């Protein structure tokens, strides 16, 4: 090995075999470069430099090994973190997809449980997904009428996992204003009862992004508010809602057991020959018209029962009509409207079931809108059991037909 000093006397930098190395001060020779000419000195310096180079190489190797260990450790930690994150995400998705049945829903129908939990606006979607097998009960196919028990597990597909969220930004201001103006007939920690006006849809769906129930959730800050029963858009009167799922389940059971009594007022075309009686017919869903299903009589239809009582008969401009009190004992779609039309006394203003001549005569006396009003609702409180009785006065639009006419009381 050839050693040659670089620089002036006392310099610490040396070039060994083409590489620059820096010696410690104790190895630097005293005096000038010329003092290095003897062989022992060269060998001593060369050995020292070699040992120093080996030490530097050892430290570099240790540094590289340490860097490799750190990179491997960091990669392992990243993989573990990724796996934990993936497991947590998988667990969250699994939790979101499973609905556990508690004691409050024990014995209830599957479709009613899901409607109560997910909202009435999803009723059609829920029924379709159950029938297609997308909704599973304890990992098995099921039917809408299947009964659930406490502890059952219901698998929900993607389209049902996220609860519907509605805020004031997505609800029209006009709808919020109408909902806020509705008279509140009763309210406590379990129930909310309002006098619904005609023309308001009770929930979103069927061409409506939002309805009365969504508006009331925002206005009253009640995210769990649910409809206990429904009224058609053009029907006015008493509308009952539950503020929690337990109250809703008990109210639904009361409706199913017919423990509630509902009374409607209707203005119908003509004077019924029989002033009191019971209408019994079988109703089934038929052809579609105007985006809604018509309900017609059919041999395979479900039995529908309604009691009626003629209250007052009217005559105006040669057009006969009467006020009836109606008490339904079943809850079929459009039940009152179809049964009265089938008896030859269609409800005034019913554009779906009334005849053209009846609609024209109704308009000729200044009538507008459907003359059907949910006047009274009697029930037991779902928690306390106390008897409740709610009544809603008929709309002002009825006054013209009730006052400006010749009337005959029954």
User: According to the model, what pLDDT value does residue 63 have?
Assistant: 63
How confident is residue 54, by pLDDT bands cut at 50, 70 and 90? low
User: According to the model, what pLDDT value does residue 31 have?
Assistant: 43
Q: Would you state the CATH architecture of domain 173-409?
A: 2-Layer Sandwich (3.30)
How confident is residue 164, by pLDDT bands cut at 50, 70 and 90? low
User: According to the model, what pLDDT value does residue 309 have?
Assistant: 95
Q: Please tell me which residue in 111, 232, 234, 350 is annotated as part of the active site.
A: 232
User: According to the model, what pLDDT value does residue 374 have?
Assistant: 96
Percent of the chain with pLDDT over 90: 30
**Does the reported pTM lie above 0.75?**
no
Mean pLDDT of 206-224: 82
Give the domain 101-161 fold: 3.10.290
Contact 186, 388 (CB under 8 A): yes
Residue 320 annotated to the active site? no
Higher pLDDT, 306 or 78: 306
Residue 104 has pLDDT above 90, yes or no: no
User: According to the model, what pLDDT value does residue 348 have?
Assistant: 95
What residue segments make up the domains of the chain, in order of their start? 1-92, 101-161, 173-409
CA dihedral 225, 194, 124, 99 (to 10 degrees): 20
User: According to the model, what pLDDT value does residue 84 have?
Assistant: 66
How confident is residue 103, by pLDDT bands cut at 50, 70 and 90? confident
Mean pLDDT of 235-255: 90
Mean pLDDT of the chain: 79
Q: Which of 95-104, 314-323, 354-363 has the lowest mean pLDDT?
A: 95-104
Burial 344-364 (b: 16+ CB within 10 A, else e): ebbbbbbebbbeeebbebbee
* pLDDT tens profile 1-13: 444 444 444 445 5
How many degrees, rounded to 5, is the angle at CA 380 between CA 379 and CA 382? 120
Mean pLDDT of 223-246: 91
Higher pLDDT, 299 or 315: 315
């Amino acid at each position: 090995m050839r050693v040659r000093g670089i620089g002036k006397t006392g310099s610490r930098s040396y070039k060994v075999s083409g590489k620059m190395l820096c010696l410690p001060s104790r190895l630097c020779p005293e005096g000038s470069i010329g003092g290095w000419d003897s062989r022992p000195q060269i060998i001593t310096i060369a050995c020292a430099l070699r040992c120093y180079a080996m030490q530097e190489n050892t430290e570099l190797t240790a540094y590289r090994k340490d860097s490799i260990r750190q990179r491997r450790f960091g990669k392992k930690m990243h993989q573990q973190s990724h796996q934990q994150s993936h497991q947590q995400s998988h667990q969250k998705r699994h939790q979101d997809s499973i609905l556990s049945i508690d004691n409050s829903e024990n014995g209830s129908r599957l479709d009613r449980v899901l409607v109560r939990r997910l909202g009435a606006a999803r009723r059609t979607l829920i029924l379709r997904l159950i029938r297609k097998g997308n909704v599973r009960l304890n990992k098995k196919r099921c039917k809408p009428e299947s009964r659930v028990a406490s502890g059952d597990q219901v698998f929900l597909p993607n389209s049902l996992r996220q609860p519907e969220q509605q805020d004031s930004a997505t609800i029209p201001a006009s709808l919020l204003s109408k909902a806020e103006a509705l008279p509140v007939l009763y309210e406590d920690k379990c129930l909310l009862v309002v006098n619904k006006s005609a023309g308001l849809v009770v929930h979103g769906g069927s061409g409506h992004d939002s309805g009365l129930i969504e508006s009331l959730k925002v206005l009253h800050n009640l995210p769990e508010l649910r409809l206990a029963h429904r009224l058609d858009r053009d029907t006015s009167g008493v509308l009952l809602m539950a503020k929690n799922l337990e109250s809703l389940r008990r109210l639904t059971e009361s409706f199913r057991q017919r423990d509630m009594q509902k009374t409607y007022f209707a203005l119908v075309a003509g004077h019924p020959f029989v002033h009191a009686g019971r209408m019994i017919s079988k109703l089934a869903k038929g052809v579609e018209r105007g985006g809604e299903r018509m309900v017609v009589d059919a041999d395979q239809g479900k039995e529908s029962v309604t009691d009626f009582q003629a209250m007052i008969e009217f005559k105006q401009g040669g057009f006969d009509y009467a006020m009836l009190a109606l008490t339904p004992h079943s809850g079929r779609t459009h039940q009152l409207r179809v049964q009265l039309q089938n008896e030859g006394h269609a409800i005034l203003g019913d554009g779906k079931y009334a005849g053209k001549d009846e609609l024209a005569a109704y308009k000729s006396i200044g009538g507008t809108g459907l003359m059907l009003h949910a006047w009274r609702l009697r029930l037991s409180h779902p928690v306390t059991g106390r008897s409740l009785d709610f009544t809603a006065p008929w709309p002002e639009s009825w006054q013209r037909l009730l006052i400006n006419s010749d009337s005959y009381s029954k």
